[in-house]
Amino acid sequence: MTAPTFTLLDQDGKEHTLAEYGGKWVLLYFYPKDDTPGCTIEACTIRDQFKDFTKIGAEVLGVSTDSVASHKKFAEKFELPFTLLADVNKEVVGMYGVSKRTSFLIAPEGKVAKVYENVKPAEHAAEVIADLKALTDKS
């Protein structure tokens, strides 16, 4: 399946399109709400293992229906080094058919390589990094 393309604003109000990440691996992770227990655990474990994502050459995009301002507070409070996208109109959530904590690993050519459903926040980053290493042969 080809990943549906979109344009959303990040925590600084800057526009991002999925197309601009063409040629790179992308973890597109959908989470319910900024600064709630599970979402904070998930974001912080990705933050703590972010160097492993960058070493592989992968981008991380977090998406929720919270506002740009909410994302900015969340990113600053927990020093998140990756992009948070505000899907306030639930367009992208709808395109991807997401109703709960779900992630999509998108390959450089724009195809969905793996879907993670019912994500466990504390284990998710390590699980995705292991899959990226297997898919890219970068151990």
Active site residues: 39
Q: What backbone torsions phi and psi does residue 46 show, to the nearest 5 degrees?
A: -65, -45
Calpha distance 77→135 (Å, rounded)? 33
53 Cβ contact list (under 8 Å, min separation 6): 27, 46, 59, 60, 82, 128, 129, 132
- The β-bridge relationship of strands 7-10 and 83-86 is antiparallel
Calpha distance 136→130 (Å, rounded)? 10
Other CB atoms closer than 10 Å to residue 64's CB: what's the count?
23
